C-alpha cells in the first residue's frame, strides 16, 4: 500500500507492479483512495461486469409477484363531509 506522496515519488515502481499483475493500493490521509491496475486487467473486469449485467427490462420482468400481477390492498375510501 502506498501513500499518495510515495506513489508520486515512485510512480514507475507503482506502474511496474501493476503491470506485473499486482494491483497497487494508494491511500490519502491514511484512508484507501484508489487502486492502480493494468489496462489489461481493467478491461477484463469491465468486460466481465458488462457481460453479467442483465437488461433493465429483464430486471423488471424478474420482479416477484405471480404473472406480473401485484396484489393490491382492498381499501374502501372513507366518507368525508365538507
pTM score above 0.75: no
The three grid cell numbers given for residue 39, joined into one nine-digit string: 489496462
Burial of residue 7 (number of CB atoms within 10 Å: 0-12, 13-18, 19+):
buried
Averaged pLDDT score across all residues of the chain: 89
Rounded-to-integer distance, Cα 16 and Cα 20, Å: 6
Cell numbers at residue 44, please? 477484463
Count of Cβ atoms closer than 10 Å to residue 2 Cβ: 20
Residue pair 6/27 in contact by the 8 Å Cβ criterion: no
pLDDT band with cut points at 50, 70 and 90 for residue 58: confident
Amino acid at each position: 500500500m502506498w501513500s499518495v506522496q510515495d506513489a508520486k515519488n515512485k510512480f514507475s515502481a507503482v506502474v511496474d507492479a501493476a503491470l506485473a499483475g499486482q494491483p497497487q493500493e494508494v491511500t490519502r490521509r491514511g484512508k484507501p483512495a484508489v487502486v492502480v491496475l493494468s489496462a489489461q486487467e481493467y478491461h477484463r473486469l469491465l468486460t466481465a461486469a458488462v457481460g453479467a449485467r442483465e437488461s433493465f427490462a429483464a430486471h423488471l420482468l424478474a420482479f416477484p409477484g405471480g404473472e406480473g400481477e401485484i396484489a393490491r390492498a382492498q381499501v374502501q375510501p372513507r366518507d368525508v363531509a365538507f
